[in-house]
Chain A
Amino acid sequence: MELAPILVTLKLASITTAILLILGTPLAWWLSQTRNRFKTVLESVVALPLVLPPTVLGFYLLMALSPNGFVGGMWSYISDSPLSFSFTGLVIGSVIYSMPFVVQPLQASFEMVGKPIQQAAYSLGANRLDTFKNVVLPLSMRGFLVAITLGFAHTVGEFGVVLMIGGNIPEVTQVLSIVIYDHVEVLEYQQAHAYSAGLLVFSFVVLFITYSLNKKLMVRL
């Protein structure tokens, strides 16, 4: 059993989750607060990866990321490496693909905190940023826990999009789910078993820890 696919997968999931937290937190916050009429449009766009076949998403990403595509073209203009079939391309794809799994729980938990509690903080002299940092964030810990877990786990488990845009380059873009697929295709069931069982146990442990933590947090919040 090779270690490389596991490392690539963990690296991809960690980077993706980190980027999603940075991008998703303000987006989820805006969605939870706004009454703008574009809110529904944006919510629908964020939720698209939930319903689209990964191949559709992968196909359009491939078009966009290829050197002739919009994003890929710009990328090759500023750097001399292509975006498609690269780790960076994989991160971009994963961020889009796992977006709803981070944004939706965050938005829900921000909405749960609600305007009234923010108003109370304002009336005690805390401005918007202060209120967000010291009242909303601590009260949204469960949302963050769920968002991080789902974002990470969903990225670990992605297959279709990676297959379309990642290429399957060992030690660069070859992730676990693809390796398993490759082994099954050439009837190497034992290797497939090793990775599959490992992923199964890993996923269970992550979810178990999350749900336990969640319960602990629930007591306080």
Chain B
Amino acid sequence: MKEIKIAYKTSLNNFHLDVEFEIPNHGITVLFGPSGSGKSSVLNHIAGIDDQSDNKYSKLVLNNTVYDDSTKKIKLNPWQRKIAYVFQDNRLFSNMTVQKNIHFGHKRRKSTLDVNEVIEKFRIKDLLQHYPEQLSGGQKQRVSMVRALLSNPELLIMDEPLAALDYQSREELLPYIECIHKELTIPVIYVSHDIKEVLRLADYIVVMSQGKVIDKGELASLCISQPLLTQAEGASFILQGKVEKIFSDEKLMQISCENQSLFITGEDIKSGDDLRILIHAKDVSLCLTPPEDSSILNCIPVIVDSIKDKTNGKYEVTAKLGEQLIVAMISYRSAKALGLEEGKSVFAQFKATAMIK
């Protein structure tokens, strides 16, 4: 499998950036971390628009093409890289119509994509003759995505493209970003510090903090090992499922996951959509028999996989739900009372409101 190799060591006003990592050359890789962790600097390095002259070490290899290698004094200019950039502040050309904006890159790089199809997909046909200042924030960002895509990129990088938008526009835009990923098969590096975006989009995650990569991997395993990602106390986990049914009057969704039905509050997702739910381990309890009259809607049979002593009076219990893992934070006393051990069948309970989607 092809990979993207990225390395960047530099210093700027006492801020030291020192990263070296590889990511898969497909799907959406989220570069996650608090603001000031150096995510945007890494993106600018990838795009070749960092104006640092004192790079100590830098490297970028994409599809076996060396874009940047400080040891060999190679550094391609930004316009020579087949990398398109979607900026947080859209950066549309204000003197050009939408039509001219999206043709700017297309004209110069001969996209193999069908222009009309992309215009159709991103629903900007009615906007083509407008100038950027006549568009809403969400529309501008949609246009800027189309502009980037039509420049025929082998890699698309996005720097918090939703951060400057209101909640409504964000929700509107997320499906378009998913569409880039699913239908256009262009690898994407997406910078974010919003766990909700991560849940919706991420296939692979690189977690950054203070100029360093502190963890990377698939979403499911990172949630368990990396509290920084979920901003929760202790572990969290992901369940993947499909929306089965929506009870609009109760604002409740029924989700099928490993042949079990889960309930989660909310109704803003379409029936039949894939869904990832994040649950904090501290919100999960275990029991031996399902309670008959509890307010907790979700009670699912699981098999204990491992028990980790967190030495603070709690065990982190990992259990299997089919192919997926759940994690529960259980006190020493409860664990003893239930007689927990590997391979034991128990029921995991969590509230319909304990989940983030």
- In the bound complex, CA of A130 to CA of B104 (Å): 11
B87 at the interface (CB under 8 A from A): yes
- Contacting pair A122 B89 (CB below 8 A): no
A157 CB → nearest B CB, Å: 32
Given that A119-B47, A126-B79 are contacting pairs, would A138 and B95 also be in contact in the complex, using a CB cutoff of 8 Å?
Answer: yes
In the bound complex, residues from chain B placing their C-beta under 8 Å from that of A127 are 77, 79
Given that A116-B87, A135-B93 are contacting pairs, would A125 and B108 also be in contact in the complex, using a CB cutoff of 8 Å?
Answer: yes
B245 at the interface (CB under 8 A from A): no
B131 CB → nearest A CB, Å: 7
Choose from B93, B105, B108 the contact partner of A117 (Cβ within 8 Å).
Answer: B93
* Nearest residue, chain B, Cβ from A35: B51
Given that A116-B89, A119-B47 are contacting pairs, would A124 and B95 also be in contact in the complex, using a CB cutoff of 8 Å?
Answer: no
A79 at the interface (CB under 8 A from B): no
A159 CB → nearest B CB, Å: 39
Choose from B49, B84, B85, B104 the contact partner of A126 (Cβ within 8 Å).
Answer: B104
In the bound complex, residues from chain A placing their C-beta under 8 Å from that of B47 are 119, 122-123
Choose from B94, B105, B131 the contact partner of A124 (Cβ within 8 Å).
Answer: B105
B91 at the interface (CB under 8 A from A): yes
- Contacting pair B79 A119 (CB below 8 A): no
In the bound complex, residues from chain A placing their C-beta under 8 Å from that of B108 are 124-126, 130
In the bound complex, residues from chain B placing their C-beta under 8 Å from that of A122 are 47-49, 77-79
Given that A119-B47, A139-B93, A221-B95 are contacting pairs, would A124 and B84 also be in contact in the complex, using a CB cutoff of 8 Å?
Answer: yes
A133 at the interface (CB under 8 A from B): no
- In the bound complex, CA of A100 to CA of B91 (Å): 30
- In the bound complex, CA of A96 to CA of B84 (Å): 44
- Contacting pair A121 B104 (CB below 8 A): yes
Q: Which of B54-88 contact A (CB under 8 A)?
A: 77-79, 81, 83-85, 87
Q: Can you list 28 A-B contacts (CB < 8 A)?
A: A116-B89, A117-B91, A119-B49, A119-B78, A120-B85, A120-B91, A121-B104, A122-B49, A123-B83, A123-B85, A123-B151, A124-B79, A124-B84, A124-B104, A124-B105, A124-B148, A125-B105, A125-B109, A126-B79, A126-B104, A130-B79, A135-B93, A138-B95, A139-B94, A139-B95, A220-B131, A221-B94, A221-B95
Residues in A lying within 8 Å of B, measured CB to CB: 116-117, 119-127, 130, 134-135, 138-139, 220-221
Residues in B lying within 8 Å of A, measured CB to CB: 47-49, 77-79, 81, 83-85, 87, 89, 91-95, 104-105, 108-109, 131, 147-148, 151
